[in-house]
């Protein structure tokens, strides 16, 4: 097992992997960001819902074929291909993103030390699709227009795949990743909506810092493009105007924004003890130098997202010891709804104070929408690449500031310097917030 640290261990990011509407690789993601190319288009997985939900950020290049899982050893390729039948699409994307990150970190052919390596992976709540029930429902008379409920236990249930439940358990992404890569260290699964990914990275970093592991795979997978989840989005959330051109629909912080765009995707990173990573000659993309999380509710249990986000950001910045005058940029949650963007703008202004005028803010959701639990890590990867390339990508569709929100220095120019560090934040409608500060190695 990993040796318990006698002092604070530093945590490096050494591998990156994504499956998202802009492609199945980090290079494809960065190419699209650099070109200002949106990944949002008309839905192909679902029919239009009440003519209110007609487009989204689909991971169109991800088919679930074994070739989508990146470079694999012969044994891993065989094991993953065999297990595909017990994976839903979200789990497939999770495994693929993780395997891309593992290969990027140099562990494709040389496996990680099993006892000192682990996994923390996040997800949304997972729901089966109607197709899983069709045969059983047909057996019980559904096609005749009269479903015979008493027959379900004896006749309908027998038509279900006996391994059906394994496809939709939220701990399966982390379990599969650990099994395929023989990772016997700490393993955990988180289901915290849009903050799942950054919270997974936070827990994984803490696990390394306290000496319980030398390296961890951290990430999350999610979707808002689903037979039932898309209906939930229609019922509960402000969605972008369906008459808007798809590529112009996601407009975080813009005065003409009309709502969120649904999407799907997964992201993963490999985190390692910095000294071990340097000793092994690993590529160091960045160092996790500060993290914070918060949930705030009033006496009536109503969520207070502005306070939660401010708490999380302050904690991460204080821990990082990066002066605000030196913070390179902010990677925003940038949901694109009227209320969420205003809440976020108020929180960032409160935390950053006078520096808010000079710190660039980018909103990756303008390119692919809300990927659910998968959003945070994919968004984090965009800033890691921007820091590596020393320039930001522009926020799509931002034309004019919202007069009802405090001003932000939204990055509208692809040549804006990324700086040597960044603050990444995410929040949920339930007022759960998380923040990370990542700095350039050797800063």
Contact 435, 201 (CB under 8 A): no
In a domain, 156, yes or no: no
Cross-strand bridge partners of residue 430: none
Q: Would you say residue 3 lies in a domain?
A: no
Tell me if 136 is assigned to some domain.
Answer: no
Domain tally for the chain?
Answer: 1
Q: Is residue 157 part of a domain?
A: no
Residue 25 CA to residue 7 CA, distance in Å, equals: 36
Q: Kindly state whether residue 193 falls inside one of the protein's structural domains.
A: yes
3 state DSSP class of 123:
strand
The C-alpha atoms of residue 129 and residue 273 are separated, in whole angstroms, by 40
- In a domain, residue 159? The reply is no
Q: Residue 289 has what pLDDT? A: 98
Helix then strand then coil, in percent of the chain rounded to 5, is: 40, 20, 40
What is the domain-level CATH number for residue 344?
3.40.47.10
Query: Using CA atoms, how far apart are residues 375 and 384, in angstroms rounded to an integer?
Result: 14
CB neighbour list of residue 162: distance below 8 Å, 6 or more residues apart = none
For residue 260, is it within any domain? yes
Q: Is 442 exposed, middle or buried (CB count within 10 Å of its CB: 0-12, 13-18, 19+)?
A: exposed
Query: In this structure, are residues 22 and 33 in contact, taking their beta carbons and an 8 Å threshold?
Result: yes
Per-residue pLDDT of the chain (443 residues; tens, 9 = 90+): 455 544 689 999 999 999 999 999 999 999 999 999 999 999 998 888 778 899 999 999 999 999 999 999 999 999 999 999 999 999 999 999 999 999 999 998 888 999 999 999 999 988 887 777 778 888 888 888 888 889 888 888 888 887 778 888 999 999 999 999 999 999 999 999 999 999 999 999 999 999 999 999 999 999 999 888 888 888 889 999 999 999 999 999 999 999 999 999 999 999 999 999 999 999 999 999 999 999 999 999 999 999 999 999 999 999 999 999 999 999 999 999 999 999 999 999 999 999 999 999 999 999 999 999 999 999 999 999 999 999 999 999 999 999 999 999 999 888 899 999 999 999 999 999 999 999 998 76
Instruction: Tell me the chain's radius of gyration from C-alpha atoms.
Output: 21
Domain region containing 426 = 11-127+167-439
Q: How far is CA 174 from CA 37, 136, 156, 170, 211, in A?
A: 31, 30, 31, 8, 20
242, part of any domain: yes
Q: What's the half-sphere exposure (Cβ side, CA atoms, 13 Å) at 24?
A: 19
């Amino acid at each position: 097992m990993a040796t318990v640290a006698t002092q604070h261990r530093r945590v490096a990011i050494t591998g990156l992997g994504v499956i998202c509407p802009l492609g199945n690789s980090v290079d494809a993601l960065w190419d699209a960001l650099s070109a200002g190319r949106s990944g949002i288009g008309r839905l192909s997985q679902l029919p239009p819902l009440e003519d209110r939900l007609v487009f989204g950020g689909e991971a169109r290049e991800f088919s679930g074929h074994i070739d989508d899982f990146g470079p694999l050893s012969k044994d891993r390729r065989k094991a993953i291909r065999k297990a595909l039948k017990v994976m839903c699409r979200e789990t497939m994307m999770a495994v693929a993103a993780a395997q891309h990150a593992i290969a990027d970190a140099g562990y494709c052919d040389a496996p990680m030390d099993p006892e000192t390596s682990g996994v923390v992976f996040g997800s949304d709540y997972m729901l089966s699709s109607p197709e899983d029930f069709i045969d059983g429902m047909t057996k019980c008379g559904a096609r005749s227009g009269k479903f015979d409920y008493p027959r379900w236990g004896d006749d309908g249930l027998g038509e279900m795949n006996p391994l059906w439940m394994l496809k939709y358990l939220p701990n399966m992404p982390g379990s599969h990743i650990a099994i395929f890569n023989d990772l016997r260290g700490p393993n955990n699964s988180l289901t915290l909506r849009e903050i799942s990914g950054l919270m997974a990275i936070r827990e994984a970093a803490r696990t390394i810092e306290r000496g319980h592991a030398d390296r961890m795979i951290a990430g999350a997978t999610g979707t808002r493009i689903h037979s039932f989840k898309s209906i939930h989005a229609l019922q509960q959330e402000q969605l972008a105007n369906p008459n808007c051109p798809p590529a112009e629909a996601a407009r975080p912080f813009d005065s003409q924004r009309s709502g969120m765009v649904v999407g799907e995707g997964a992201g993963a990173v490999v985190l390692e003890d910095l000294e071990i990573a340097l000793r092994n000659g690993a590529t160091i993309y960045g160092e996790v130098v500060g993290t914070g999380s918060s949930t705030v509710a009033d006496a009536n249990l109503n969520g207070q997202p502005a306070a939660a986000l401010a708490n999380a950001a302050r904690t991460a910045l204080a821990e990082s010891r990066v002066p605000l005058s030196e913070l390179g940029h902010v990677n925003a949650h940038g949901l694109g709804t009227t209320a969420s963007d205003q809440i976020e703008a108020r929180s960032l202004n409160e935390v950053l104070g006078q520096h808010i005028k000079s710190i660039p803010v980018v909103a990756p959701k303008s390119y692919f929408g809300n990927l659910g639990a998968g959003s945070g890590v994919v968004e984090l990867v965009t800033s890691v690449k921007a820091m590596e390339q020393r320039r930001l990508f522009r926020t799509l569709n931002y034309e004019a500031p919202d007069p009802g929100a405090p001003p932000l220095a939204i990055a509208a120019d692809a040549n804006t310097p990324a700086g040597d560090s960044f603050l990444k934040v995410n929040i949920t409608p339930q007022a759960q917030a998380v923040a990370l500060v990542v700095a350039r190695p050797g800063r």
